[in-house]
Chain A
Amino acid sequence: MNQADLKTTRDGLGDGLVELGQSNKDVVVVNADLEESTRTHLFKEEFPQRYFQVGVAEQNMMGISAGLALGGKIPFATSFAIFSPGLNWEQIRLACISNLNIKIASTHAGFSNGPDGASHQALEDIALTRVIPNMTVVVPSDYEQAKQAVKQIAEIKGPCYLRLSKTPTPILKTDQPFIIGKAQVLSQGKDCSIITTGNMIHQSLEAAEILNQNGYEVGVINLPTIKPLDKKVILEAAQHSQLIVTIEEHQIAGGLGSTIAEYLSQARPIRIIRLGADDQFGESGTVEELLNKHNLDTQSIVNKIKSLFPTK
């Protein structure tokens, strides 16, 4: 694919907020000294009165966002995923106790901050946010989904976490609409169903295509909403596939795979193979190198799934 066709979900945040800001005057943006990096400088240029720069102070950012929500505003608290929810988890939790209408939009999630190294690679943020009651957790797969997610979470009355990436990706080609709370069933497969989220949809689709050309029957489900979980689709996948493979740019512990395992262990016990960071931190490197190292590149996914069917 031509590099020029690739876009990031953080750009979807920046552009989505500008569009949302025009239609909804209650939308405000709070930022902790990462204006251009989060693409929220675009909102600042359009709506300077509704943009609050708090400096390097993520806890204050979240508390101010809570207060803005108490005042009837719809605040988007914006930073990197490692800092928010990393540095301000308790502030988020307290806002969730009140079910406040805060939107936490965090960029540079997963390995997408590659060269910055382990301290800047958020691989635990899905776990941190999804365990909090009242929270909605959304992970868009491309620029367009991110833009739509921005608008849709503004319609939800309650706290939402929007996980965004710095890695450019293609636009996902599907006729399945992007609706928060709904999975996108892109294909079905008797051998296995891949369930994935965020950027990893692209590697997952490539892997499925290779496998299907080689006699395997692999389906792919994109799950842009981790919470609330689209249980119906997950249950159906478990009913018509031999096994489930989850793929995520996140720790295996606590993320998408854990979410699926928690649900299916009760609803329909089935073998679940979970791919992601396996209780390891990242390190400096390109995104591609890091995905390779953690067996999240297309070929590693193909090899892993092949190994699950030794008789084929």
Chain B
Amino acid sequence: MKDLSTQTRSIRENILSMIAEAGSGHPGGSLGSVEIFASLYFNIINHDPKVPTLPQRDRVLLSAGHICPAWYATLAQAGYFEMGELLTLRKLGSRLQGHPEYKNGHSLPGIENSSGPLGQGLSQAIGLALSFKLDNLPNQVYCVMSDGEQQEGQTMEALLYAGSNNISNLTILIDRNNIQLSGNTKDILPLRDLGRRIRQFGWTVFEVDGHNTDQITNAALKAKDNKFSPSAIICHTTPGKGVSFMENDYTWHGKKLSKEDYQKALREL
């Protein structure tokens, strides 16, 4: 298994630079989900960054659009576009919109769906997976979700549908970081035993250390081999991972980085 520590460090640096430059954004979930994105693009998926629309590519959809700095930084790290474009995040005319925008032929290379309003990505991923099944194509669909959006009704609808209809070419990776915008998930609306709940809906569930790329990768490879159900990988993560004053503090879900915070954070990585 590849060691991805060089890539994940660079991605984290870029996330901090992007959010600092933009003057707004969501550092907590972005920093916490780096290993999820890195595992996908450097270990798991079949893709070619130089040919972003390759028909045979696996698809990665982001449901929790606010953590897109991690997606953008990983795509740049993988070579989908120049690193320099990362600093245009959230600026007028940028392909790096504050929440991802898919526009056929015009969007940032590697972006496969629009998201932002929470709870919609899983349904989109199911539809895409169904289209591959209809055409007897082997493409696997991955969807990165947050734990907060497991509270959305639509997520429930989609989990129930996928589990009941054997959408086996679908794998979701849930960033289980235990925070949401207004507080800790256990205080806002407890998710109870998330893994057990999803399993009851007919899914195969893996629980992994969300900062261990080997664990994430192994679970994803098992999920791809599973032809009998969709799979969910619950990635237990630390929000704000790598920056001590952000870790596990929900107030960093969506907060701008001052110059001082940015410098301090960079030194800690």
CA distance A60 to B102 in the complex (A): 19
> 6 extra interchain contacts, Cβ-Cβ under 8 A, other than A64-B123, A67-B129?
A59-B123, A60-B157, A65-B127, A66-B127, A70-B112, A91-B120
CA distance A37 to B190 in the complex (A): 39
Interface segment, B130-138, B217-225, B236-244?
B130-138
Interface pair B127/A70, CB less than 8 Å apart: yes
- Give the A-B contact count at a CB cut-off of 8 A: 104
Interface string of A229-272 (1 = CB under 8 A from B): 00000000000000000000000000000000000000000000
Contacts A/B (CB < 8 Å), 27 sampled: A55-B160, A57-B154, A59-B119, A59-B154, A59-B157, A60-B154, A60-B161, A62-B123, A63-B123, A63-B124, A63-B127, A64-B127, A65-B127, A66-B123, A67-B113, A69-B127, A70-B127, A71-B127, A71-B128, A71-B132, A71-B135, A73-B131, A91-B123, A94-B115, A97-B101, A98-B103, A99-B103
Secondary structure of the A contact surface, majority rule: helix
B212 within 8 A of A: no
Which of B119, B135, B154, B158 has the most C-beta atoms of chain A within 10 angstroms of its own C-beta?
B154
B104 within 8 A of A: yes
A21 to chain B, nearest CB (A): 13
Q: What 10 pairs between A and B have smallest CB-CB spacing?
A: A67-B127, A63-B123, A71-B131, A60-B157, A57-B157, A64-B127, A67-B124, A59-B154, A67-B128, A68-B127
A54-B161, A98-B101 known; A66 vs B130 contact (CB < 8 Å): no
Interface pair B131/A97, CB less than 8 Å apart: no
Tally B residues with Cβ within 8 Å of A: 33
CA distance A52 to B161 in the complex (A): 10
Interface pair B130/A71, CB less than 8 Å apart: yes
A223 within 8 A of B: no
CA distance A94 to B127 in the complex (A): 15
B114 within 8 A of A: yes
Binding site for B on A (CB under 8 A): 28, 49-50, 52, 54-55, 57, 59-60, 62-73, 75, 90-91, 94-95, 97-99
Q: Which of A54, A66, A72, A90 contacts B117 (CB 8 A)?
A: A90
CA distance A28 to B130 in the complex (A): 11
- Interfacial residues of chain B within 98-126, with CB under 8 A of chain A in the complex: 101-104, 112-117, 119-126
Interface pair B161/A50, CB less than 8 Å apart: no
Residue on A with the closest CB to B97?
A97
CA distance A66 to B126 in the complex (A): 10
CA distance A237 to B125 in the complex (A): 47
B153 within 8 A of A: yes
Interface pair B153/A59, CB less than 8 Å apart: yes
Chain A residues positioned under 8 Å from B157 (CB to CB): 54-55, 57, 59-60
CA distance A302 to B103 in the complex (A): 49
Interface pair B128/A70, CB less than 8 Å apart: yes
Interface pair B154/A67, CB less than 8 Å apart: no
Chain B residues positioned under 8 Å from A65 (CB to CB): 127
Chain B residues positioned under 8 Å from A70 (CB to CB): 59, 102, 112-113, 124, 127-128, 131
